[in-house]
A and B are shown apart, each in its own frame.
Chain A
Amino acid sequence: NAGVTQTPKFQVLKTGQSMTLQCAQDMNHEYMSWYRQDPGMGLRLIHYSVGAGITDQGEVPNGYNVSRSTTEDFPLRLLSAAPSQTSVYFCASSRTRDTQYFGPGTRLTVL
């Protein structure tokens, strides 16, 4: 039972590069979200989706894009990486307002 998977686990980028963090879930959950976690800041919501074709911004959306073409996948795109985007990124899925299941995280460093 895979649950929520994220790739890659680790990534180093140079300033200005773009990349996509992948997230997939096999639980048929309608709700998916992306968070970043920084020391002393807790988990902050970047973007979320309540179903295929529907996305919305969270607390810290600038510099990130998302799309939701299927129920299973919710990729996060960094358009032009900046050092301020160095963080740990978690993807999560749930039934709406129910328990969230998290992926193992992606540790991103932007030089």
Chain B
Amino acid sequence: RKEVEQDPGPFNVPEGATVAFNCTYSNSASQSFFWYRQDCRKEPKLLMSVYSSGNEDGRFTAQLNRASQYISLLIRDSKLSDSATYLCVVTDTGNQFYFGTGTSLTVIP
């Protein structure tokens, strides 16, 4: 069983739409949670950390549900520039980071 699982998509949404991604993790002792964004043929970059209380950064909202072991990312008012692959990342109690395979988003004009 993979440590982190994501729906690969692709998600194709019109500009202005709201889209949500979910990610599940298998280790109940996981410590830290992140969403990264990766543009085509580029390195992953941090989009936002995910806190137990949930957090928001502009049009982006991240939630953590420890009981059900999932993380979500909500993007409101989608822009063309949001087109990318979104990676869910989880750390364990040691020093390893586990990446999901990513969810592909294309925002259509």
Residues on A facing B (Cβ under 8 Å): 31, 33, 35, 40-45, 48, 50, 56, 58, 90, 92, 96-105
Contacts and interface: CB of A to CB of B under 8 A. Distances in A.
Contacts, number: 49
A100 B95 contact: no
Task: Report, as a range, how many residues of chain B touch the other chain.
Answer: 20 to 34
Nearest to A104: B43
Given A42-B87, A48-B96, A97 B31 contact: yes
Given A42-B87, A102-B44, A105-B43, A97 B101 contact: no
B91 interface: yes
B60 interface: no
Contacts of B42: 104-105
B77 to A, nearest CB: 25
